[in-house]
A = this chain, B = another copy of it.
Amino acid sequence: MKRRTIKDIAKESGFSLSTVSLVLNNHPRISQATRDRVMAVVKKYNFFPNSAARGLASKSSKTLSVVVPNLTRVFSDIYLGELISGIYERATSQGYKILLDIATSQFIKTQEYTKLLASRRADGMLFIASDIHADYLGVFEDSPYKFLLVNHVFPGKKLNYVSVDYAASARTAAEHLLGLGHRKIGLIAGTNTFTGLQFRDEFLRTCKTWPAGAAQVAWVDGGEEWSQRGGYAAAAKLMAQTPDLTAIMAANDRMAIGAMRWLADNRREVPEAVSVMGVDDIQLAAYVNPGLSTVRHDLYQVGIESCNRILQLIKGEITECSDLLPTSLVVRGSTDRARGSK
């Protein structure tokens, strides 16, 4: 089976090279009759135009680079699944393919992130792997490359982003707990990302300035991985140093569930003794017992929107982007009025 080219199709169909090309690109220039005759031949040979040639001539690869974090178990993170599904769905619908990369140290060191765009292997890059040490991303400030941080922000650097509004999220969570009368709260924070820091700071601020009376917040770091295990350990630490707190807020659901586990293992009733609240609204949040109150982050939507934006950047429809998507409160059984509050 010989490899066909557009030339063969032209010859066989009796039209010119250009005509075939125009047909293949759905150019309105071509009449339906011609289109049909050409397509018949295309179908007959099951022909697909060579994408390298196409890319070379058109100066576009129709490819998006997606960079995910270098966590060994990265794909076990529901977080990524939602995000990538959203990106994939939108990219595909626009005829774009996805080039997957993992932000390994190798990837960073060889500046693969630049290379991908400089070599035009990808038209744009969606970066899901940022943390507070990702200074190398500075190359994308004011660069001609199309770059977007997904569900991350980088204060101090002029980088495009689409993210959930972590500060708003913190406010929502804090207000929920404060409204329930909690005045001694433990916070399990994630401090290795800027969004994590934003969340922590806004949570603290909201508690400190609550009109009905400021709340004391003791916070600990839940660990780099924001994992259930980290949450478990963090809860232990919090309860040891502040035994009388009435609520634990965790920066994500996994840590919250870890905390609930510790409380269960140590005979503290949730929510009677301690209320627990998370962030994200992962599937599991609804299944634990009691159900976890949380702030819903629609990561699928973030994926969709991120992809929309990077495509607009590529097309030149916009030149920068800093979207913050809304979040919403989800109340389940794990939070209730603080004990001792009326």
- Chain A positions near chain B (C-beta within 8 angstroms): 1, 46-56, 61, 63, 66, 72-78, 80-81, 84-85, 88, 92, 97-102, 104, 106-107, 114-115, 118-121, 143-144, 283
Contact A119 B81 (CB under 8 A): no
Contact B46 A56 (CB under 8 A): no
CB distance from A114 to the nearest CB of B (A): 7
A80–B78 Cα distance when bound, in Å, is 12
Closest residue of chain B to A60 (Cβ to Cβ) is B52
Contact B1 A144 (CB under 8 A): yes
Contact B102 A100 (CB under 8 A): no
**Chain B hits for A47, CB < 8 A:** 118
CB distance from A36 to the nearest CB of B (A): 20
A146–B201 Cα distance when bound, in Å, is 53
Contact B76 A78 (CB under 8 A): yes
Please give the count of copies of this chain that the complex contains: 2
Contact A85 B99 (CB under 8 A): no
Contact A120 B52 (CB under 8 A): yes
Which 8 A-B residue pairings sit nearest by Cβ, starting from the closest? A75-B81, A52-B55, A48-B119, A52-B56, A48-B118, A100-B100, A76-B78, A51-B121
Closest residue of chain B to A87 (Cβ to Cβ) is B100
CB distance from A19 to the nearest CB of B (A): 20
Contact A106 B92 (CB under 8 A): yes
Contact B61 A85 (CB under 8 A): no
Closest residue of chain B to A71 (Cβ to Cβ) is B81
Contact A75 B73 (CB under 8 A): no
**Chain B hits for A106, CB < 8 A:** 92
Contact B97 A121 (CB under 8 A): yes
**Chain B hits for A73, CB < 8 A:** 78, 81, 283
**Chain B hits for A118, CB < 8 A:** 46-48
Closest residue of chain B to A68 (Cβ to Cβ) is B75
Contact A76 B85 (CB under 8 A): no
Of the A-B pairs whose beta carbons lie under 8 Å apart in the complex, a sample of 15, sorted by A's number, is: A1-B143, A46-B114, A48-B114, A48-B118, A48-B119, A51-B119, A51-B120, A53-B56, A73-B283, A75-B84, A75-B85, A84-B100, A88-B100, A92-B104, A98-B100
Among B46, B56, B92, contact of A50 (Cβ-Cβ < 8 Å): B56
Known contacts A52-B52, A55-B52; decide if A102 and B75 are in contact (CB<8 Å). no
**Chain B hits for A121, CB < 8 A:** 51, 97
**Chain B hits for A78, CB < 8 A:** 73, 75-76
Closest residue of chain B to A63 (Cβ to Cβ) is B99
